[in-house]
């Protein structure tokens, strides 16, 4: 049953360029709003790039993603999913980051998501750099380790940077496994590429049982085959999907901090998400959109288009759990 | 007495790049909200460029102005005015335009502003091209012709374009005088320049008693002297201020449709507004910000900074009328 | 027999960056020129975006396409077609639009093309938004409904926008079928994708017998197979080809108003046109190039390169009809 | 008497963004056209940057200047000059450069201007880098040395570069004086600034009697005073005016190869030209607009606006000589 | 006596666009080089923006400043100072920052500058955000509090951000005074403007005896008068000069994180530095150049041009102390 | 054995955005340095575009390639090659071009590379336009004609331009074959496409026995098959590889002078190089990166990523010859 309150503003009434831009023209709610308890899926921004080791700017991601999101319509024409009529969706605003303190910010994020978890809201997050995923997982994996599907050109599995610093956007999933938030046997990475420092990350992953599917393997085997394996790896348990925009080729997604050439095109970028239908998703994010490196906004348009795909599979998962 | 509900979100709590961007981080209200009747000054967007004869894009103005407005703080350090503590301000959203029909859009605008007038809300508008001012004046000048202060590089006083078409952004003030919305004797234009088609507009203005102060006169006499004359022309009667961003030199404001070189710099652009203190303003607008011609956003930052100056003098006028 | 008057200026004599930019460095002619009656194919600009519902700017398309067209050489190296030696080509200038009136502009366009039809000139048009195709079809389909091949990411088959407005760039082909300009049984759309409002357009198309080939089908079956079907659908009757630049992936064609990710690359964008060899084409257009969204000009370079491909198959068709 | 053939296309009939862009929408003529002999002032492009020692791109200047020139109207609102009704103006196209040979190109330029001189056409030139002025002077100074007014941030008076190479954009006026094309006693430079290699150029200038007015002197004394001196220096004899866009501050004119901060603004850039009224000008140019460094086109808009000012004083000089 | 080793590479030999870009084409030295002890003035980059509360990117400043610095020549044409022949200058590379830890980075900076101080090298620094000045002052003010001349649009005198965080780019000079690094009686700020949070910073400054010269005062009194007062305030004692690029109007310097309209132009930006001749400068910096917000590089060109002016007055001070 | 002196600076110690940018953070050496004789592979820039017939700017290529090269890490994750540990690599600076003389510049280049050849250094070059390859080949092919593998969209085999001029970036390989520097039977071109002037180049190539593989053939047969043929053509003899960035589709590589749509993507652009493993390479270059047409730097990032791939196969070849 479609809830009229939770429908996006129609472009036939208010042209796409008009209006204050909430995510996908959904109602904007805060924890103080009564109706927040009707929300099934909350879209949240985490405007933070405190873990970035090279080119910053992902803190500006949620703003630009919201801007372009007003060009998103209501229905997935391929899968037929119409998320806004299946589940109640809302823009829950941004987590307030502390740009000058990493630990404080991580605590703020976890606290925000703890509240969502208590309300039974499934989160779809717009980053922020990849370190933002760690405090989200801390909230979502309270009861048990999650499966993890990571689309990315980097493993983000390093131990530390700059002489022992443990929290950067190159280390979150090492921490997540160490903290027991992610089950390494149900953790798969897709799209890895780019020149390497060494094999530290790969060796550690192997030792843990993490499955790494490099870009060459993805292109050789094809999306259908690879994604079938991905679904098998995570199985039916609770699973999180994290999508780094640098998974996509930098010509398609220049607005990011650490681009690596030789990646998928935008069609392939959509296809891998559509293959997540049926996975027991408890949350998802799209991270590393850095608008200063793509003022023209193409990366944000790609990013929000992919977030809509993520929303469609999340809506299916939420619906399936009812 | 400061009303906490109507205070902007503090950057010390939520960093400037975070959050859904309403104008100046004010609360966003619609006519359906109860609290709308507490509003003294409403900031409204009119995202429409249907009257544009050359380079379109002003329909995207309000969105980008809102985005940059989150860098505006709370107080005017020169005049000492702190508008948000003097009067209740709110973002009232955008008028829904009809991009494919001029007459329909003008009616929608007038209707929206009629409602504001009935509620006693003083409007500060973000255009839109300069034709947007006409339907606003139709709502505000219901009872009597207004005085008009126009900062602009063009007179916008032509009779018609393209073989007799009467409603373009080059004609609004010809219409406004003809319709009795503006008293030509209390109408002054400042900053006029640029190559001319002919002297049709100037001759007509002269015949009506409209005062035109070209840019050369402004620079020769200085801002203090010219603005004293401006205040004298409009006197103590109800007055509207319309500020076309192309008043400013196009190096400072490239994001506009019809730039003319040789204009004021950003400091002068501020100064002329500060000199409106004491004028009996019943509304103001800033128009012709066209983001596609300045994706980097400098024009929007200038524009919203000028809107804050306009807000300060509007707040003084509202306060004075109490 | 090559007509020296109708040859482009050679880059070996006048470097590509030099000279006043007519389309492909062809002679520029107006209806007043005697030699206009020797023209076989006229290239015309329709600089108009009055039907645009979201991001305007296509009115600037013809100018930028002409600019980049001076990098086009004389021969298609794949098909071997050398259009300028097969038929007489000329730049016939732009139709004068009325930026503030849709109906007036459509009448101006139809009138311009009526004149071309009377002179036996086959038109290749540079838009303009997609509404520009409707008044062109009104001129070309005077005697009988045409077949139509549409490369596009959108169907443009909606009934109306903004509360009943019938003429926008989202509605032209609904109107064209209703007006009997296009035979729905000989109408095929290729490349459709993007999030959907609903299924109104698709349902209506189905009811009319219009064939819609979505992007997934194009990629699955391959260009050869799909284009064979396209040729079969339009058969040997008179056919028009309309090519919306947003058919191509927005990374390749960012300079357009309504981009949709997941589209063809530039090689595929060329291939589909080369497969039109043998079709009885009576005209073609390339629309929706909006330079304000791609100041760097990549979209225009792609667009004019595709226009050269269209010119090659048009020249073959003109030649075949002799 | 206004000659209808030589009037620009009106924007009231053909919108500014439409049409093939000749300079200022004037008729385009070549030496083969009969009507070329009716031309009083010819506007010519020299798309060449073969003398550029640092950042190239001025070869693209004329194209972009033509593009923006369609926003120029018919009358100078300050001086009242309406050049198109005073004298016959036309776009005479571009000189064909040889991008890979300096000497050949200089000969091509001189030959083109010799032909104009023979026809009695006064040239207004759009460069090209500053070396383009030298071959123009070779044609114009056939009978006697000219006076020269140079607006520039650099003296361009060096002897040679890169180990003895004599023809670069840093040396043209050394050559012009050496070749007897310019009378050093009637040669004045205005606006010189920027860090210096050494004092070679200044010392040589002083020895020749060339007057150099640095930017500090221009700002201290004011435009009126300095320009009175300039007029006195060149006197009543034949005089050429060369305007390097880098005279203007690079924030106003980023699109140039060798920017120097601390220059005039766009109003001052206009004022100095208006003060040339009464000078016996036999030609003028605007050089060093390099579009690759200002794709947004602000520099070209400034440049063509200044060319219109130059056209107004040229028209007065041509008229005065009749 | 000019030391040939410390001369910049000549553009007459190696064109400006060629070569690995050290600052001003000077020799690059590290602490391990023997010749480092011959250095009088070291130019150092601190690529760090860890204190940035809004738009990051100043970490990329030194790289882009070096790139544009190859267009700097050898001599100041106004003051006649030729720094490279007065004192030995060298590029000493960048301090290695830790992008994910503020305290660690500040310690690294202080340690680097301690070493310079021990070697008797006077530093000219390219930031980095304004927090970078604090650890530099910690090294330079070891023996006594310094005078401080700050060109800026912000006071950077706040106590804390985001709930008590003490080290941001809005707080360094509060800390510097508290730590006794700067003598508040010999501390003057020039150019302050922009909307205000409140008067916390101003009130605190007043209480300390810090002199704040707002932009209005600078424009009213003129540069000569104001700078005479500045020189008087700092007197003959050791003085540091910190120049935030946002002192300059954002149209001239868009590439910065917190722009404020209504500032000086580039000529005025130079003039204030030239007036520092005679001040007993022991170091200087230029901070807050953020290339992601000005990819075209105009801000960097302005910034390095100002650094050359700073170098000239530093060289005079070093020379005077010999 | 890894030589510590020749290792790139680690990003774990010095963040990627910091430091003076030599190629791939390698040590910078000049012929005067003692350690130059330990170098196996030298990376050299030739910042020159004197042969460019259309859009210049490749002279700025090496600077921007160096800038982006600091994001290159140490190891090829696909082939496992770690070039810096296999052979000694260094940045040998730029050849000093003469921007105003073609012949002089070509002599300077050949002389520079003669010196490298004498020292036994294998060169990897960053252009510059494609004419730069000719003087490099003159140095490398002193003893015998080389095999040549050219990735390009143009043949560059024309005889002359602009009325007989023999040295442009459209003619280098005609000259190279004529001068006996390249064995036409061991010369293969891959990726040729774009509209054609005529068949002069193709006909001449055929007559010489040069193998041209058009883009259609590359896509039809696939990279593995085509590259096997390429390896067979050049055989075991000394071979040079020249890679024009316009081989890649212009959406991936907009920063180039003569783009042609319909080219390979970035993954394919890498793959063709990886297939050169085993070829007896004596040098390689990447040319035609023109930063003014891609200020955002995507082309440079692609270009340097491809240079790293070239370095890997060069290192293998050098290692194999030991």
Provide the token pair at A63.
Answer: 């703003």
Chain C residue with CA closest to D100: the answer is C15
- The arithmetic mean of pLDDT across residues D191-201, rounded, is 95
Across the interface, whether the CB atoms of C17 and D47 are under 8 A apart is answered yes
Across the interface, whether the CB atoms of E251 and B265 are under 8 A apart is answered yes
Q: B100 and chain A: CB distance < 8 Å anywhere?
A: no
Q: F165 and chain C: CB distance < 8 Å anywhere?
A: no
- pLDDT given for residue C275 in this prediction: 98
Three-state SS for D68-87 is HHCCCCCECCCCCCCHHHHC
Whether the upstream peptide bond of residue F241 has omega within 30° of 0, thus cis, is no
Q: D258 and chain B: CB distance < 8 Å anywhere?
A: no
List pLDDT tens digits, range A301-311. Answer: 999 999 999 99
Residues ≥6 apart with Cβ < 8 Å to A258: A54, A55, A153, A154, A194, A246, A288, F71
E169 in a known ligand binding site: no
For chain A, which chains pass the contact test of at least 3 CB pairs under 8 Å?
A: B, C, E, F
- The arithmetic mean of pLDDT across residues C247-260, rounded, is 98
Determine if residue D288 is left, alpha or beta; phi over 0 gives left, psi from -120 to 50 gives alpha, anything else beta.
left
Provide the token pair at D145.
Answer: 């040395």
Global confidence as pTM:
0.98
pLDDT over 90 at F316, yes or no: yes
Of D22, D66, D99, the CB nearest to C15: D99
Burial class (CB in 10 A: 0-12, 13-18, 19+), F164: exposed
Of B54, B216, B293, the CB nearest to D17: B54
Q: How far apart are alpha carbons C147 and C185 in whole angstroms?
A: 8
Q: E100 and chain A: CB distance < 8 Å anywhere?
A: yes
Pinpoint the alpha helices (H) of E45-199. 61-69, 83-86, 102-119, 133-140, 172-178
Contact between chain B and chain F (3 or more Cβ pairs less than 8 Å apart):
no
Pick the closest to residue F193 from F212, F174, F169, F172 (CA basis).
F212
- The arithmetic mean of pLDDT across residues A121-149, rounded, is 97
Across the interface, whether the CB atoms of E12 and D54 are under 8 A apart is answered no
The shortest C-alpha distance from D313 to chain E (Å) reads 29
Residues ≥6 apart with Cβ < 8 Å to E172: E51, E130, E131, E133, E134, E156
- pLDDT given for residue C31 in this prediction: 85
E220 in a known ligand binding site: no
Instruction: Show residues of chain E in contact with F66, CB under 8 Å.
Output: 20
For chain E, which chains pass the contact test of at least 3 CB pairs under 8 Å?
A: A, B, D, F
Instruction: Show residues of chain F in contact with E90, CB under 8 Å.
Output: none
Would you place residue C48 in the very low, low, confident or very high pLDDT band (cuts 50, 70, 90)?
very high
Q: F267 and chain C: CB distance < 8 Å anywhere?
A: no
Burial class (CB in 10 A: 0-12, 13-18, 19+), A180: exposed
Q: How far apart are alpha carbons F305 and D157 in whole angstroms?
A: 43
pLDDT over 70 at C175, yes or no: yes
- pLDDT given for residue C33 in this prediction: 93
List pLDDT tens digits, range E39-81. Answer: 999 999 999 999 999 999 999 999 999 999 999 999 999 999 9
The beta-strand segments (E) located in chain D are 41-45, 89-94, 122-126, 146-151, 182-192, 211-214, 239-244, 281-287
Q: What is the ipTM of this complex?
A: 0.97
pLDDT over 60 at E135, yes or no: yes
Percent pLDDT > 70 in chain C is: 100
**A41-45 and A89-94: which strand pairing?**
parallel
The shortest C-alpha distance from A11 to chain B (Å) reads 10
Instruction: Show residues of chain F in contact with A214, CB under 8 Å.
Output: 77-78
Chain A residue with CA closest to B65: the answer is A20
Q: E258 and chain B: CB distance < 8 Å anywhere?
A: yes
Whether the upstream peptide bond of residue F16 has omega within 30° of 0, thus cis, is no
Q: Which of A19, A47, A294 to mutate to test the interface with B (most CBs of B within 10 A)?
A: A19
- pLDDT given for residue E186 in this prediction: 98
pLDDT over 70 at E1, yes or no: no
Q: Which of C251, C293, C295, C297 to mutate to test the interface with A (most CBs of A within 10 A)?
A: C251
Q: A14 and chain B: CB distance < 8 Å anywhere?
A: yes
- Chunk chain B into consecutive blocks of 10 residues (it has 322) and report each block's average pLDDT, rounded to whole numbers: 90 96 97 94 98 97 98 96 97 98 98 97 98 98 97 97 95 98 98 95 98 98 98 98 98 98 98 98 98 95 98 98 93
Domains and CATH numbers, chain E: 23-320 (3.40.800.10)
Average pLDDT of chain F, as a whole number: 97
A285 in a known ligand binding site: no
List pLDDT tens digits, range F143-159. Answer: 999 999 999 999 999 99
- The arithmetic mean of pLDDT across residues F280-298, rounded, is 97
List pLDDT tens digits, range B7-47. Answer: 999 999 999 999 999 999 999 999 889 999 999 999 999 99
Across the interface, whether the CB atoms of B74 and E195 are under 8 A apart is answered yes
Across the interface, whether the CB atoms of C100 and B292 are under 8 A apart is answered no
Would you place residue D2 in the very low, low, confident or very high pLDDT band (cuts 50, 70, 90)?
confident
Q: How far apart are alpha carbons E194 and B78 in whole angstroms?
A: 9
- pLDDT given for residue D1 in this prediction: 57
Across the interface, whether the CB atoms of F15 and A216 are under 8 A apart is answered no
Determine if residue B97 is left, alpha or beta; phi over 0 gives left, psi from -120 to 50 gives alpha, anything else beta.
beta
Radius of gyration of chain F (CA): 18
Pick the closest to residue A202 from A269, A157, A140 (CA basis).
A157
Residues forming beta bridges with residue D230, ordered by sequence position: none
Q: F161 and chain C: CB distance < 8 Å anywhere?
A: yes
List pLDDT tens digits, range D273-284. Answer: 999 999 999 999
Provide the token pair at B270.
Answer: 């501020």
Pick the more confident residue, D57 or C2.
D57
Q: D198 and chain E: CB distance < 8 Å anywhere?
A: yes
Query: Which residues of D are annotated binding-site positions?
Result: 130, 152, 154, 156, 244, 246
Count of beta carbons in the 10 Å neighbourhood of residue F212: 18
Chain A residue with CA closest to C198: the answer is A75
Would you place residue A1 in the very low, low, confident or very high pLDDT band (cuts 50, 70, 90)?
low
Radius of gyration of chain A (CA): 18
- The arithmetic mean of pLDDT across residues C178-188, rounded, is 98
Residues forming beta bridges with residue F43, ordered by sequence position: F91, F124
- pLDDT given for residue F2 in this prediction: 81
Chain B residue with CA closest to E202: the answer is B77
pLDDT over 80 at C1, yes or no: no
- pLDDT given for residue D262 in this prediction: 98
Pairs across A and E, CB distance < 8 A = 61
Separation of first and last alpha carbons in chain F: 14
The shortest C-alpha distance from C19 to chain D (Å) reads 5
Q: A162 and chain F: CB distance < 8 Å anywhere?
A: yes
Across the interface, whether the CB atoms of C162 and B99 are under 8 A apart is answered yes
Q: Which of C254, C305, C308, C310 to mutate to test the interface with F (most CBs of F within 10 A)?
A: C305
Question: Are D268 and D225 spatial neighbours (Cβ–Cβ below 8 Å)?
Answer: no
Average pLDDT of chain E, as a whole number: 97
pLDDT over 90 at D10, yes or no: yes
Helix (H) / strand (E) element for C89: namely: strand C89-94
Q: How far apart are alpha carbons E260 and B302 in whole angstroms?
A: 9
Q: Is C91 helix (H, G, I), strand (E, B) or coil?
A: strand
Of A161, A250, A294, the CB nearest to F301: A250
- The arithmetic mean of pLDDT across residues F5-19, rounded, is 95
Q: C2 and chain F: CB distance < 8 Å anywhere?
A: no
Q: Is D219 helix (H, G, I), strand (E, B) or coil?
A: helix
Instruction: Show residues of chain B in contact with D296, CB under 8 Å.
Output: 254, 293-294
pLDDT over 70 at C202, yes or no: yes
Provide the token pair at D291.
Answer: 């579009």
Q: Which of F82, F223, F298 to mutate to test the interface with A (most CBs of A within 10 A)?
A: F298
Across the interface, whether the CB atoms of D216 and E78 are under 8 A apart is answered yes
Q: For the ranges C1-10, D113-122, D182-191, F281-290, which has the lowest average pLDDT?
A: C1-10
List pLDDT tens digits, range D154-180. Answer: 999 999 999 999 999 999 999 999 999
Q: Which of A69, A78, A270, A303 to mutate to test the interface with C (most CBs of C within 10 A)?
A: A78
A156 in a known ligand binding site: yes
Residues forming beta bridges with residue E212, ordered by sequence position: E189
List pLDDT tens digits, range E163-189. Answer: 999 999 999 999 999 999 999 999 999
List pLDDT tens digits, range F248-275. Answer: 999 999 999 999 999 999 999 999 999 9
The beta-strand segments (E) located in E127-181 are 146-151
pLDDT over 70 at F198, yes or no: yes
- CA angle at residue C42 from C38 to C46, to 5 degrees? 150
Pick the closest to residue A215 from A263, A258, A252 (CA basis).
A263
């Amino acid at each position: 049953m479609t809830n009229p309150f939770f429908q996006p503003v129609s472009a036939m009434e208010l042209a796409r360029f008009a209006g204050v831009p909430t995510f996908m023209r959904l109602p904007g709610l805060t924890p103080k709003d009564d109706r927040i308890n009707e929300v099934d899926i909350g879209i949240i921004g985490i405007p933070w790039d405190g873990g970035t080791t090279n080119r910053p700017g992902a803190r500006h991601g949620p703003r630009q993603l919201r801007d372009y999101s007003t060009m998103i319509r209501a229905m997935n024409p391929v899968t037929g999913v119409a998320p806004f009529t299946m589940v109640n969706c809302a823009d829950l605003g941004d987590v307030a980051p502390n740009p000058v303190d990493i630990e404080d910010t991580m605590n703020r994020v976890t606290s925000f998501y703890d509240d969502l978890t208590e309300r039974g809201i499934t989160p779809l997050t717009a980053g922020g750099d990849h370190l933002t995923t760690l405090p989200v997982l801390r909230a979502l994996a309270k009861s048990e380790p999650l499966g993890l599907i990571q689309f990315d050109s980097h493993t983000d599995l390093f131990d530390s940077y700059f002489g022992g610093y443990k929290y950067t956007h190159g280390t979150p999933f090492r921490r997540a496994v160490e903290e027991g938030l992610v089950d390494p046997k149900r953790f798969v990475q897709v799209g890895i590429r780019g020149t390497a420092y060494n094999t530290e990350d790969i060796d550690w992953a192997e030792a843990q049982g993490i499955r790494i599917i490099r870009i060459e393997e993805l292109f050789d085997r094809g999306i259908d085959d690879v994604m079938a394996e991905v679904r098998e790896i995570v199985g039916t348990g609770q699973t999180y999907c994290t999508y780094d925009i640098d998974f996509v080729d930098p010509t398609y997604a220049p607005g990011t901090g650490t681009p690596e050439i030789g990646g998928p095109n935008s069609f392939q970028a959509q296809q891998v998400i559509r293959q997540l239908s049926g996975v027991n998703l408890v949350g998802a994010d799209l991270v590393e959109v850095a608008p200063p490196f793509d003022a023209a906004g193409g990366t944000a348009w790609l990013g929000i288009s992919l977030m809509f795909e993520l929303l469609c599979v999340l809506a299916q998962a939420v619906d399936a759990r009812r």
